[in-house]
Amino acid sequence: MADPFFAPVSGFDLPRFAGVPTFMRLPNVPPDHPRFADVEIGLIGAPWDGGTTNRPGARHGPRQVRDASTMIRAEHPVTGVRPFETANCADLGDIGPNPANLQDSLDRFARFFTDLRAADVKPVTVGGDHLTTLPVLRGIAADEPLGLIHFDSHTDFYHSYFDGEMHTHGTPFRRAVEEGLLDPKRIVQIGLRGTMYDREDMDFAEAAGVRLIKIEEFFARGVDDVMAEAREIAGARPVYVSYDIDFVDPAFAPGTGTPEVGGPNSFQALGVCRHLAGLDVRGADLVEVSPPFDQTGGTAFLAASILFEILAAMTAPSA
Ligand code: MN
Ligand code: MN
């Protein structure tokens, strides 16, 4: 049972449009807060898009998702899970990047997540572009490679961009495998689609043992069957969940830098998360929400809803 200190503000008590917005209306508990030691799951903003190769704006994601997440209530409509009564969840605030220095930003982020790991806090990070995932893994997977369930239109497995640049949002998982942060044989990537530069990314991934599930296979088999396989690949061992909002069709999630048409709808976007329950999820992220391209705010609301699904899965009773 969660400590009442960590209860989110209810819309019955204060209208949801009022108050300072934190993720899910949770208390703001940065690492120097006296109650930080009691946090079990920390939601973190990573306002940084230094790895973006095309349309920018993901640095504005955390603030927009915080605002949209005030729409989220306490109980999961299908499973009945009440995440905030099961685990002490808090908004840990934002990690300050250095927008003028990519490597310094990576170092700042990695230090933050190393400290979280030492404090035994599971991170749920809101990006930011997908390069954000690399320093998260450098922090939490330093001792033991993790499995990965990855929702995305793209593999993000390229070797490099722009004549040797190794750190972009198209390369985080290549670096993570090279650095021994992920076990490639326990990685599954779901939703791959769109025009390609070439097959260098997929060739590397498949040679390393990564399971690639393209969108044609996703639709042919359906959510339940695909996610049953993803659970088998993750197994009982520690796993990380990385959710790029461009997994979802841009009709439902236009507010992102690298949209690809022909993707899952918002119902399927939520449904895949329900199959994460019972896995040993050590952390998760939701990345690539770009508010300047989110004309209706719908992308940010979908992102907040996916984050609630992930929290509900992480706090679900074990089967
Ligand atoms: Mn991505
Ligand atoms: Mn992507």
Taking only the tens place, the pLDDT of each residue in 23-78 is 999 999 999 999 999 999 999 999 999 999 999 999 999 999 999 999 999 999 99
- Mark the residues whose beta carbon lies below 5 A from ion ligand 2: 152-154, 244, 246
**Contact indicator for 201, 157 with CB cutoff of 8 Å:** yes
CA of 92 to the centre of ligand 1 (A): 23
CA of 167 to the centre of ligand 1 (A): 13
Burial letters 63-102, b for 16+ CB under 10 A, else e: bbbbbbbbbbebebeeeebebbbbbbbbbbbbbebeeeeb
pLDDT digits (tens, 9 = 90+) for 123-140: 999 999 999 999 999 999
Closest to 6 measured CA to CA, from 68, 85, 94, 105: 85
Instruction: Give the CATH fold of the 4-315 domain.
Output: Arginase; Chain A (3.40.800)
* Residue range 94-108: mean pLDDT, rounded: 98
CA of 258 to the centre of ligand 2 (A): 6
CA of 154 to the centre of ligand 1 (A): 6
CA of 214 to the centre of ligand 1 (A): 14
Q: Looking at residue 317, what DSSP letter applies?
A: P
Give residue 124's pLDDT: 98
Alpha-carbon distance of 63 to 143, in angstroms, equals 32
Reduced to 3 states, what is the DSSP secondary structure of residue 217? helix
pLDDT digits (tens, 9 = 90+) for 184-234: 999 999 999 999 999 999 999 999 999 999 999 999 999 999 999 999 999
| Beta-sheet strand order (sheet of 146-151) | 89-94, 41-46, 122-127, 281-287, 239-244, 146-151, 182-192, 211-214
Q: Looking at residue 81, what DSSP letter applies?
A: -
Q: Which ligand is nearest to the CA of 150?
A: 1
pLDDT at 2 over 90: no
Q: How far is CA 219 from the centre of its chain?
A: 22
Sign of CA dihedral 114, 123, 37, 18: positive
Strands 89-94 and 41-46: parallel
Report the mean per-residue pLDDT for the chain: 97
pLDDT at 254 over 60: yes
Is the preceding omega at residue 194 within 30 degrees of 0, hence cis? Answer: no
Q: Which ligand is nearest to the CA of 247?
A: 2
pTM of the model: 0.98
Give residue 201's pLDDT: 98
CA of 32 to the centre of ligand 1 (A): 31
Give residue 319's pLDDT: 56
